[in-house]
A = this chain, B = another copy of it.
Amino acid sequence: MVQVSTQPQQIVNGMDDSPRGKLLSAAARLFRDQGFDRTTVRDIAREVGIQSGSLFHHFPTKEDILFTVMVEVIRFNTERLRAAIAGKSDPAEQLRALIRAELQAIIGDTREAMSVLVYEWRCLTPAHQQETLALRAIYEQLWMDALEALRSTGRLQADAFITRRLITGMTSWSSNWFDAHGSLTIDQLTDIILDRVIGEHGA
C-alpha cells in the first residue's frame, strides 16, 4: 500500500498536465479515434486550444508527436510489467501478473496510447520504427523469461514463442470488445486467458 488511490493525472511519464503533456494526451486520443493520417495538426491544436502552428514549438514534426506517444507508453508499460512480477518467484503467478498488467495497459489507463501503438506503427519513419522495436524487445524479453521459466517447471508444454504470440493476440484484441462498464472484470478475463495457456480445462 505504498501509493494510495489519489494518483495524480500523471499516468504516463511526460503525459502530465503541462502544455506538452496535455498535447500528448489529446494527440493519443485523436490518433486512436481517427488514425494518425486522418488527424490533422489543426485537430490536435483545436483540442488543446492553441493555433496549429504553435504545435511546432513543442515538437519538430507531427510524426514526432506520434513517436513520443509510443515511446512513453512502451517505457511506462515495461516498468509496469517489471513491477508486476517483482517479488513473485512462482512462474505461474508471474504469468498471471504479466497478463493482468498487459490487459491493464490495453483496456485500462493507457488504452488510447496502446491502441495507437498497434494500429499506427507503420506511420513512423523507418528510423523511429527501429527505435520502437528496440524498446519493444525489452518488453517482450520479460514475457519470454517468465514463459521459459514456466516451461522448465513442466507446467507449459507448448512452445514459448507461439504461446506468447497467442497471448498477444488475445490481449490486444480485447481492446476491440472489452467493456469497462460491463460485468466482466479485468481480473476475470486474466484468469480466463491464463486458463487458455496453462489450465486443465476439464474440471
Contacts and interface: CB of A to CB of B under 8 A. Distances in A.
Contacts of A202: 200
Contact of A199 (B189, B192, B201): B201
A158 interface: yes
A38 interface: yes
Contacts of A94: none
A168 B173 contact: yes
Interface residues of A, number: 31
Quickly give the copy total for this chain.
2
Interface string A190-202: 0011001111111
Interface in A97-142: 119, 122-123
Contact of A173 (B165, B177, B200): B165
Contact of A166 (B35, B38, B122, B196): B196
A121 to B, nearest CB: 10
A24 B177 CA distance: 30
A166 B158 contact: no
A174 interface: yes
18 contacts: A34-B122, A35-B35, A35-B37, A37-B38, A38-B123, A157-B201, A158-B192, A162-B184, A165-B173, A166-B173, A166-B192, A166-B193, A166-B196, A168-B173, A173-B173, A198-B201, A199-B201, A201-B201
Listed from nearest, the 3 A-B pairs whose CB atoms lie closest are A169-B173, A37-B37, A169-B169
